[in-house]
Amino acid sequence: EEQEEDVLRELRLFLRNITERLSLDRRFKAFTKPVDIEEVPDYLMVIKKPMDLSTLLTNIDEHKYITIGEFMADADLIWKNALEYNPDSDPMDRNIRHRACALKDTVRAIIRDELDEDFERVCEEIRESR
Ligand SMILES: CC(=O)c1csc(NC(=O)C2C[NH2+]C2)n1
């Protein structure tokens, strides 16, 4: 009902705010857009579920996420994919893995500091009711 749509609207605002703040952080520049398959031709052979910050924003606007957990699953793909695609000891790989770990920790810290657990519980009730 209307109250549920009010809750989901507030969730989308919260998720857009997180995603936009991450997109502004220069450390996460490599994660802002889908990997360019022209530049990285083997990427889709290695990474089965690509994800990036601009796609997160599109998903939010398309009402894909009803709980923070669903958003986190896609946000986690961004750094997990980067660790998987960049396993080597060369400096480029190490650098992007460092940024991927920073992304993981930053998302979790924002959510721990800024998400009200009662609000998340209401979102999970809505998910279970649908
Ligand atoms: C987004 C992402 O994870 C990404 C984009 S390019 C890249 N890695 C490289 O270009 C090479 C350095 N060793 C492979 N990783």
Query: How many angstroms separate the alpha carbon of residue 88 from the centre of ligand 1?
Result: 11
Residues 50-93: pLDDT tens digits?
A: 999 999 999 999 999 999 999 999 999 999 999 999 999 999 99
pLDDT value of position 17: 98
pLDDT value of position 12: 98
Mean pLDDT of the 106-121 span:
98
Whether the CB-CB separation of 112 and 40 falls below 8 Å is answered with no
Mean pLDDT of the 13-32 span:
98
Whole-number Å distance between alpha carbons of 27 and 51: 17
For 86, residues 6+ apart whose C-beta sits below 8 A from its C-beta are 92, 93, 96, 97, 100
Does ligand 1 come within 6 angstroms of the Cβ of 93? yes
Instruction: Copy the structure tokens of residue 43.
Output: 């990427």
Query: How many angstroms separate the alpha carbon of residue 93 from the centre of ligand 1?
Result: 7
Whole-number Å distance between alpha carbons of 3 and 111: 23
Instruction: Copy the structure tokens of residue 88.
Output: 């080597």
Mean pLDDT of the 37-46 span:
97
Overall pTM > 0.95: yes
Whole-number Å distance between alpha carbons of 115 and 31: 23
Buried b (16+ CB within 10 A) or exposed e, 46-75: ebeeebbbebbbebbeeeebbbbebbeebb
Does ligand 1 come within 6 angstroms of the Cβ of 30? yes
Does ligand 1 come within 6 angstroms of the Cβ of 14? no
Helix ranges (H only) for the chain are 2-24, 43-46, 53-61, 68-85, 91-114, 117-128
Whether the CB-CB separation of 60 and 16 falls below 8 Å is answered with yes
pLDDT value of position 117: 98
- pLDDT category, 109, cuts 50, 70, 90? very high
